[in-house]
Amino acid sequence: MSVEQIARAARDAAAELAPLTRAAKDAALLALADALVEATETVLAANRRDVQRGRTEGLSETMLDRLALSAERVAAMADGLRDVAALPDPIGEVIRGYRLPNGLQVRQIRVPLGVVAIIYEARPNVTVDAAGLTLKSGNAVLLRGSSSARESNAALVEVLATAAEKAGLPAATIQLVPADSRDTVTELLHARGLVDVVIPRGGAGLIRHVVENAVVPVIETGVGNCHIYVDKAADHDMAEAITVNAKTSRPSVCNAAETLLVHRDLAEEFLPRILTALQAAGVTVHGDETIAAYDGVIPATDEDWAEEYLSLDMAVAVVDSIEAAEAHIRRWGTGHTEAIITESQSAAQHFVSHVDSAAVMVNASTRFTDGGEFGFGAEIGISTQKLHARGPMGLPELTSTTYVVTGDGHVR
Amino acid sequence: MSVEQIARAARDAAAELAPLTRAAKDAALLALADALVEATETVLAANRRDVQRGRTEGLSETMLDRLALSAERVAAMADGLRDVAALPDPIGEVIRGYRLPNGLQVRQIRVPLGVVAIIYEARPNVTVDAAGLTLKSGNAVLLRGSSSARESNAALVEVLATAAEKAGLPAATIQLVPADSRDTVTELLHARGLVDVVIPRGGAGLIRHVVENAVVPVIETGVGNCHIYVDKAADHDMAEAITVNAKTSRPSVCNAAETLLVHRDLAEEFLPRILTALQAAGVTVHGDETIAAYDGVIPATDEDWAEEYLSLDMAVAVVDSIEAAEAHIRRWGTGHTEAIITESQSAAQHFVSHVDSAAVMVNASTRFTDGGEFGFGAEIGISTQKLHARGPMGLPELTSTTYVVTGDGHVR
Q: Which residue, B64, B365, B131, is CA-closest to B243?
A: B365
Answer yes or no: do A386 and B215 touch at CB < 8 A.
Answer: no
Q: What is the per-residue pLDDT for B54? A: 96
pTM of the model: 0.93
Q: Which of A:351-390 have CB within 8 Å of B?
A: 352-354, 356-365, 367-369, 373-375, 385-388, 390
Enumerate the residues of chain A whose CB falls inside 8 A of the CB of residue B360: 402-405
Q: What is the layout of strands, in order, in the sheet containing B197-201?
A: B174-176, B140-144, B115-120, B197-201
What does the DSSP 8-state code read for residue A177?
Answer: P
Task: Place B378 in a pLDDT band, splitting at 50, 70 and 90.
Answer: confident
Nearest alpha-carbon partner for A190 in A3, A9, A6 = A3
For the packed helices A125-136 and A150-166, what is the interaxial angle rounded to 10 degrees? Answer: 30
Kindly tell me the sign of the dihedral angle through the C-alpha atoms of A285, A288, A292, A293. negative
pLDDT of residue B283 exceeding 80: yes
pLDDT tens digit sequence for B210-239? 999 999 999 988 789 999 999 999 999 999
Distance from CA of B402 to the nearest CA of A (A): 5
Q: For residues B192 and A212, what is the distance between their CA atoms, to the nearest angstrom?
A: 9
Nearest to B227 by CA among B348, B320, B317, B299: B317
Contacts of B408 in chain A (CB under 8 A): 363
State residue B62's pLDDT score. 83
Beta-carbon contacts of residue A263 (< 8 Å; ≥ 6 apart): A229, A230, A231, A232, A234, A318, A319, A320, A321, A322, A325
pLDDT tens digits, one per residue of B297-312: 999 999 999 999 999 9
Residues of chain A contacting residue B354, judged by C-beta atoms under 8 Å apart: 15, 18-19
Put simply, whether B200 touches A (Cβ < 8 Å) is no
Q: How far apart are CA B254 and CA A237, in angstroms?
A: 61
Q: What's the whole-number mean pLDDT along residues B42-55?
A: 97
**Spatial CA neighbour of A25 closest among A72, A92, A74:** A92
Q: Tell me the per-residue pLDDT of B312-335, one tens digit each, with 9 for 90 and over.
A: 999 999 999 999 999 999 999 999
Q: Domain map of chain A by residue range?
A: 3-220+385-406, 226-368
- Is pLDDT of B377 > 90? no
For A173-322, strand residue ranges (E) read 174-176, 197-201, 226-230, 257-263, 284-287, 298-299, 313-319
**CB–CB of A409 and B215 under 8 A?**
no
Contact between chains at B410 and A362 (C-beta distance less than 8 A): no
**Dihedral-angle region of residue B98 (phi above 0 means left; psi in -120 to 50 means alpha; beta otherwise):** beta
Q: Do the beta carbons of residue A198 and residue A187 sit within 8 Å?
A: no
* Interchain proximity B386–A196, CB inside 8 Å: yes
CA distance B357 to B334: 8
Q: Do B215 and A212 touch (CB under 8 A)?
A: yes
Helical (H) or strand (E) element with B108: strand B105-112
The set of residues, in sequence order, having a beta carbon less than 8 Å from that of A233 and lying 6+ positions away, is: A342, A343, A344, A347
User: Does residue B404 belong to the interface with chain A, where contact is any CB pair within 8 Å?
Assistant: yes
User: Which amino acid is residue B192, in one-letter code?
Assistant: R
Quick check: A137 contacting B, CB < 8 Å? no
Identify the segments of chain A with pLDDT beneath 50.
none
- Strand A391-393, strand A381-383: pairing: antiparallel
Smallest Cα distance from A217 to chain B, Å: 7
State how far the Cα of A122 lies from the Cα of B352, in Å rounded to an integer.
Answer: 40
What is the average per-residue pLDDT within B46-53?
A: 97
Q: Are A229 and A257 in contact (CB under 8 A)?
A: no
Strands (DSSP E) contained in A188-237 are 197-201, 226-230
Residue A116 pairs with which residues in a beta bridge? A141, A197
Residues of B with Cβ-Cβ distance to A100 under 8 angstroms:
373-375
Size of interface A-B (CB pairs under 8 A): 214
User: In chain A, which residues have their Cβ closer than 8 Å to the Cβ of B401?
Assistant: 390-391
Nearest chain A residue to B234 by CA distance is A409
Of A18, A106, A401, the CB nearest to B353: A18
Give Cβ neighbours of residue B118 (< 8 Å, ≥ 6 apart).
Answer: B126, B130, B134, B141, B142, B143, B144, B198, B199, B200, B201, B380
- Alpha carbon of A87 to those of A133, A137, A372, B15: distances in Å? 10, 10, 12, 38
**Are the Cβ atoms of A402 and B354 closer than 8 angstroms?**
no
Residues 6+ apart with CB under 8 A from A255: A224, A226, A336, A337, A366, A367, A368, A369, A370, A382
What is the model's pLDDT at position A305? 98
CA distance A14 to A9: 9
Q: Determine, for residues B386 and A197 on separate chains, whether the beta-carbon distance falls below 8 Å.
A: yes
CB-CB neighbors (< 8 A) of B95 in chain A:
none
Residues 6+ apart with CB under 8 A from B323: B354
CATH class of A226-368: alpha beta
Cα–Cα distance, B404 to B402 (Å, whole number): 6
Mutate to test the interface with A, among B236, B387, B390 (most CBs of A within 10 A): B387
- Residue A402 parent element (H or E): strand A399-410
Question: What is the model's pLDDT at position B106?
Answer: 98
Question: Do the Cβ atoms of A368 and B218 come within 8 Å?
Answer: no
Rounded-to-integer distance, Cα B270 and Cα B362, Å: 19
For the domain made up of A3-220+385-406, give the CATH fold.
Answer: Aldehyde Dehydrogenase; Chain A, domain 1 (3.40.605)
Distance CA B174, CA B37 (A): 18
CA dihedral B353, B357, B359, B365 (to 10 degrees): -100
Contact B141, B225 (CB under 8 A): no
Chain B, nearest residue to A367 by Cα:
B412
CB contact at 8 A, B234 and B260: no
Contact B374 A100 (CB under 8 A): yes
Residues B83 and A5: their CA atoms lie apart, in Å, by 49
Q: Give me the interface pTM, i.e. the ipTM.
A: 0.94
> Between chains, do B405 and A360 touch, taking CB under 8 Å as contact?
yes
In this structure, chain B runs to a length of 412
What mean pLDDT, rounded, does chain B reach?
96
pLDDT of amino acid B143: 98
> Residue A338, by phi and psi: left (phi above 0), alpha (psi -120 to 50) or beta?
beta
Spatial CA neighbour of B216 closest among B187, B239, B177, B241: B187
**Partner residue facing A402 (CB), from B242, B359, B364:** B359
A401: which chain B residues are within 8 Å (Cβ-Cβ)? 390-391
CA distance B219 to B385: 7
pLDDT at A326: 97
Cα-flanking dihedrals φ and ψ of residue B195, to 5°?
Answer: -105, 125
